Amino acid sequence: MTDAPPANAIPRETPAWRRGAATGDAVPRIEMVRVTQPDLQRRGALEKTRGRLVYAAFGFGLLFLAVIAKLADATILQPLAPHRPEKSIEALFTAPKQSNSTMAAAQRAMITDRNGQILAISLPTVAVFADPRQIIDPADAAHRLKQVLPRLNEDEARTRLSDTNRQFVYLERQITPREQLAINNLGIPGIDFRPTEQRHYPMGRTASQVLGGTDVDEHGVAGVEKYFDRRLFDDNTPLRLSLDVRVQAVVRDELSKAIDFFQAIGGCGIVMDVRTGEVLAMVSLPDYDANDYRKAIDDQKFNRAVTGMYEPGSTFKLQTASMALDSGIVHIWDKFDAAHDIHIGRFTISDFEGKHRILYLPEVLAYSSNLGAARIAETVGGERQRAWLRSMGMFARVGIELPEAGLPIIQPASAWKEIVTMTVAFGHGISVSPLHVVRGTAAVATGVLQRPTIVALPPGDRPPAGAPVMEPAVADTMRRLMRLVVTDGFGKQAEVAGYYPGGKTGTAEKVGKHGYKRGFKENFNVAAFTSVFPMNGPRYAVYMMVDEPHGNKSTYGYSTAGWVAAPAAGRVIARVAPMLGMLPDTQDAPQINQALYIPLQPARPPAAPRGPVTAGSPPAPAPRPALTLPVSPLAPARPIARDPRHEAASSPAPAAAAPSLAAR
Amino acid sequence: MPTLSRADNSILGRWWWTVDRWTLGAIGVLIGFGYIMMLAASPAVAERIGSSRDIFILKQVFFLAAAGGVVVAVSLLSPRSIRRVAIIGCIIALALTVATMFIGVEIKGARRWIALPGLSVQPSEFLKPCFAVVAAWLISEGRRTPRFPGKLLAIGVFLAIALLLKSQPDVGMLAVISAVFFAQLYIDGLNLFLVAMLLITAAFGGVGAYMFFPHVQRRVEAFLHPGNGIGTDYQPRTALEAFGNGGLLGRGPGEGHVKDVLPDAHADFVFAVAGEEFGMIVCLIIIAVFGFIVLRGLLRLLKEQDLFVVLSCTGLVAGFGLQAFINMASSLQLIPTKGMTLPLISYGGSSALAVAIGMGMLLALTRRRHHADAA
């Protein structure tokens, strides 16, 4: 307190009363006040100053109140979402578009098999990271983390935590909530968590090449994940594949056994619904765990079923035979010279274990005669052959929804000389993927070409119509011929009682960089068996291929398809068919076999022309010569059991088949 | 603190019973917050400066202690001594500010600092309190002594300082010193018409700064159109996120992230660090302490007789309060980003000592005294 009286010393006591004056004119009792002029001015100025001080204080009060209001707004009323520094650091390294799409989509859609079994799923998880600059004792922190996170590499973690030049290091990309709690309880400063998502493949190696895989940011890098990358991001509903994990497992099992047994380097197996083109199983060995895509080697990632281009070998004789029959130039009773090797230029075509005689057309298939097939193709001609193969889809990608699907290796039209026509007739001088062969085989058995698909047909949808590629009568004959290969030809080991499979073996030498790949003692083969069952009502195509098999004692040293692939295909059919709801029909075997019968040496009907129509003559339009055998009058023996009770009552079904039926 | 008898007639005894102990206590609280925030900001800053954390902490401990000592030491002086100190200080600071043009260290495109061993000094920081006292003296002397052109001299000194600061350039300091001088003229009883004119001039000055200084332009743009540019918008946005992250009670000491990403977290954005780690309540306490010092300082002047004391205290308090307001408001994006330290709380020796001198002067001038003691 200043000791001086206030400058504007208004007296507080009652004014002195002056005689004769009004009360309002009262003056202060202190009358002897001498106030100098400058003093008065100063007092007046100070008075003004005081007023303005109050205004100034008021102004400052307003400023601080504004700060308080803004502070309340920023902290509790409208707090901005906490922005972690690591995000901005990461943003420096990832393309903005990628990070946007990662942020936008809540969760990548599931991938399931046709029965809803989960093949790929995105799980929310947590990554643990550290800011090394905040770590006080890296060694101690790493040691304590190791206690609660046993899979942590302590040495590596210590190195990372010691790197104080960085502000962000990952310690573990995914941890469980329990581990997160434990780490949090350690209370190590500088350790933090961020939510991430992890693509998980619960079935591991199942269909790994089909599924492909994703990178760290959940972007598809192969297989279905890549092909449907956008769809899986945009649409959260599960993507239902046509695969059936049960069938997939059986095919992988049998293929794996065959590969082990014949010490092969790999193989592939396909099961396809011939009516819809849906692929139920697609196996390529060796394969990988889809959870570890980044660790997989190229040979494991290689999908032999669609990327591998192999000479189809003798399986192509089905194409040659159906082409010839459908053209009308060649008849089922025609005979072809397989007694003499064919020499064209420096090439020689000969038969493996040939009969060295004239062969009827069915015999050409049953005994897999290269010479016979070459003669048939020679009769039909190269131009027709090309047109046929093109119509069977052999000249283009197979059309399945996999980015890995490759282009066949085809001779150009200019180089399609007579020798090419002859070799392609038995599947050499052309390379197509196994799936091409499967589709071609299915088309031969049904007469209709379907586009293979890996996506399940939506329930209730009509199967796609497909493209008719041959007369139904020709397809009927081809079914008999395919069945003949199994009953009387090289494919005997594929026979499964009650399921009437038909097919064709194919052993092709592998093409390397410098022509055919030949070893010191034996050639390197690809042994394949392509089949469809049941032949009295085709439902499924089964294809098994073993890459570079080696014969052993049990096969008398043979490594050909009849010994290697056919038995595997038979076992697949035997195990898969019941799963797919088909019961073996052994009761009606005589009738069915009779209906599918075709003689190895069919007799020529009396009115029919002698020998094939020569290539030069017109291509014999209608009327087509009647077949010696009527079109099979029988309905499919027992394709699908619509009524389990009826099935159980009417046929002595194996007990094993019943549960799978009930399960379906 | 040892109790001092009212009868104690020593210098310290007289000081203790005459000084404004409430304001002194508030300054002590601010220094305490300075220690806490130094601990919070030290890891990030030590890494940025490149020296070890211990040296960094020791330096700031020393400077804050020194600041406390300076406050007490300066407040022991009589108003007359304060005037002398201010005049000498103003001359030295002006000379050093001129010197920065020639021997200054260039940091971020501006020459404001003079490097001394262990400390880089920003002379204009010291200019602020000294000029406030000098201008108050000139104005009050002009009133007291006829024919002494005090106001004109004050305006002349102010223009010289303004020219210097503009050429550094240090627009922020220029704005604060201008505002302080304006406040003094206003309190002195400047004609309201002139007040209005000066306000308009200030507005034009702001527009001029916007037009002629690119970095001012960028910051204003960032303030008016948040989210427009990534670079300039980044700092205030991150600071706001820090406040949001802190919420009411804060994330806890050491749990803040803003100090890792903002280059000036220890100085210009120390309030955001406080908001993130200690929450809204502690921020409110800090604001309250500043508000207390400013309002108490101004309102106590109502009883003051001496125009010199009134004007110089107004200048000192206004400079102090404006600096705190600008720092906190730009952290909160209430105004465009302006680099300015939060008195005694931000890291930095030069700034703390300058503020301490100003506060010491304030305490010295507001000590209770006999009327005749005034200058």
Within this chain, do residues A481 and A588 fall inside the same structural domain, yes or no?
A: yes
DSSP state of A112: E
Nearest to A71 among B144, B295, B332 (CB): B332
* Mean pLDDT lowest among A15-29, A212-226, A277-291, A601-615: A15-29
Look at phi and psi of residue A448 and say left if phi exceeds 0, alpha if psi is from -120 to 50, else beta: beta
Mean pLDDT (whole number) for B28-48? 80
Chosen domain end from A186, A207, A241? A241
Using a CB–CB cutoff of 8 Å, tell me whether B284 touches chain A: yes
- Does the pLDDT of residue A147 top 60, yes or no? yes
Same domain, yes or no: A350 and A209: no
Signed CA dihedral, B144, B145, B151, B153: sign only: negative
Residue A145 DSSP one-character state:
H
Distance of CA B187 to the CA centre of its chain: 20
- CB distance from B353 to chain A under 8 Å? no
Q: Are both A315 and A226 inside the same structural domain?
A: no
Please state, for a pLDDT cut of 90, what percent of chain B lies above it: 27
Q: Which residue of B has its CA nearest to A67?
A: B329
Same domain, residue pair A209 and A301: no
Bridge partner list, B79: none
Q: Does residue A82 sit within a domain? A: no
A262 lies in the same domain as A361: yes
Distance from CA of A123 to the nearest CA of B (A): 27
* Residue A118 phi, psi (nearest 5): -75, 125
Residues in a beta bridge with A432 = A310
CB-CB neighbors (< 8 A) of A67 in chain B: 287, 325, 328-329, 332, 334
Q: Which of A221, A241, A261 is the last residue of a domain?
A: A241
Name the residue of chain A whose CA is nearest to B283's CA. Answer: A71
Query: pLDDT at residue A47 above 50?
Result: yes
Which one has a higher pLDDT value, B206 or B197? Answer: B197
**Residues A545, A454 share a domain:** yes
A208-235 average pLDDT score: 87
Whether A643 and A596 map to the same domain: the answer is yes
Query: Residue A269 carries which DSSP code?
Result: E
DSSP B372: G
User: Is the domain of A214 the same as that of A262?
Assistant: no
A164 inside 8 A of chain B by CB: yes
Residue A632 belongs to some domain of the structure: yes
Statement to judge: residues A276 and A232 lie in one domain: no
pLDDT for res A628: 39
Q: What is the mean pLDDT of residues A425-432?
A: 89
List the single residue in A42, A67, A76 with the smallest CB-CB distance to B334: A67
In a domain, A201, yes or no: yes
Cβ-based neighbour number of residue B158 at 10 Å = 21
Contact assignment for A75 to B275 by CB distance below 8 Å: yes
Cα(A515)–Cα(B178) distance, integer angstroms: 91
Mutate: best of A1, A2, A8, A129, partner B, most B CBs <10 A: A2
Residues of the domain holding A453? 248-605+617-650
Average pLDDT, chain A: 80
pLDDT band (50, 70, 90) for residue A19: low
Alpha-carbon span A426 to A508, nearest angstrom: 9
pLDDT tens-digit series, residues B138-154: 988 888 887 888 888 99
Q: Inter-chain contact B245–A164, Cβ cutoff 8 Å? A: no
Tell whether A466 is covered by a domain. Answer: yes
User: Between A50, A71, A189, which is nearest B302 by CB?
Assistant: A50
Choice among A212-216, A657-661, B299-303 with the minimum mean pLDDT: A657-661
Mean pLDDT of B104-121: 68
Decide: A273 and A231 in contact? Cβ < 8 Å.
no
Chain B CB contacts of A68 under 8 Å are 284, 287
Nearest-CA distance A149 → chain B (Å): 23
The residues of A that are catalytic are 314
The string of DSSP letters for A95-107 reads -HHHHHHHHH-SS
- Average pLDDT of the segment spanning A604-633: 50
Residue A529 pLDDT greater than 90, yes or no: yes
- Distance between A27 CA and the closest CA of chain B, angstroms: 25
Put simply, the chain B residues between 153 and 212 with a CB less than 8 A from any chain A CB are: 183, 186-189
Most confident residue range from A317-326, A511-520, B164-173, B246-255: A317-326
Mean pLDDT, range A391-416, rounded to an integer: 89
Contact A70 B334 (CB under 8 A): yes
Of A49, A60, A66, the CB nearest to B188: A49
Residue A76 counted as domain residue = no
Q: Which residue of A has its CA nearest to B291?
A: A64
Average pLDDT over residues A612-634: 42
Q: Do A49 and B143 touch (CB under 8 A)?
A: no
Q: How close does chain B come to A134, measured CA to CA in Å?
A: 7
Judged by CB atoms closer than 8 Å, whether chains meet at B241 and A80 is answered as yes
Q: Does A83 map to a domain?
A: no
Check whether residue A201 and residue A308 sit in a common domain: no
Say whether residue A50 is in contact with chain B using an 8 A CB cutoff: yes
- Reported ipTM: 0.90
Task: Confirm whether A16 is domain-assigned.
Answer: no
Check pLDDT > 70 for residue B163: yes
- Our count of domains for chain A comes to 2
Chain A residues 318-377 within an 8 A CB cutoff of chain B = none
Residue A345 neighbours by CB distance under 10 Å: 8
Query: How many other β-carbons are positioned within 10 Å of the β-carbon of residue A205?
Result: 18
How far apart CA A451 and CA A439 sit, in angstroms, is 8
Is B280 close to A1, i.e. CB distance below 8 A? no
Q: For residue B186, list chain A residues with Cβ-Cβ distance below 8 A.
A: 52, 56
Tell me the chain A residues in contact with residue B368 when contact means C-beta distances shorter than 8 Å.
1-2
Q: Lowest-pLDDT range, A414-423, B37-46, B182-191?
A: B37-46
The model's pLDDT over A546-604, given as tens digits with 9 standing for 90+, comes to 998 888 877 777 778 888 899 999 999 999 999 998 888 888 888 888 888 888 888 77
Is residue A180 within 8 A of residue A156, CB to CB? The reply is: no
**Residue A9 at interface with chain B, using a CB cutoff of 8 Å:** no
Q: Residue A366 belongs to a domain with what CATH number?
A: 3.40.710.10
CA distance A60 to chain B (A): 7
Any B CB within 8 A of A513 CB:
no
Residue A112 and residue A231 in one domain: yes
- pLDDT at residue A434 in the model: 93
CA A432 to centroid of chain Cα atoms: 20
- Residue in chain B nearest A39 by alpha carbon: B144
The answer to whether A166 contacts chain B (CB < 8 Å) is: no
Q: With beta carbons under 8 A apart, name residues in chain B contacting A52.
A: 186-187, 189
Q: Which of A577, A561, A567, A540 is nearest to A664 (CA)?
A: A577
Which of the pair, B218 or A126, is modelled with greater confidence? A126
Whether B273 and chain A come into contact, CB under 8 Å, resolves to no
pLDDT computed for residue A194 by the predictor: 83
Helix (H), strand (E) counts: chain A: 22, 20
Average confidence (pLDDT) over A241-256: 94
What is the CATH classification number for the domain harbouring A231?
Answer: 3.90.1310.10
Chain B, window 15-74: residues with a beta carbon less than 8 angstroms from a chain A beta carbon: 43-44, 47
A503 close to A541: Cβ distance less than 8 angstroms: no
Domain boundary among A217, A241, A265: A241
Same domain, A226 and A266: no
Tokens of A172: 């573990």
In a domain, A234, yes or no: yes
Query: Is the Cβ of A3 closer than 8 Å to some Cβ of chain B?
Result: yes
Per-residue model confidence as pLDDT tens digits over A337-354:
888 888 887 888 888 777
Which residues from B are below 8 Å from A85, CB to CB?
Answer: 257, 260-261
Whether residue A644 has pLDDT greater than 50 = no
Q: Do A49 and B243 touch (CB under 8 A)?
A: no
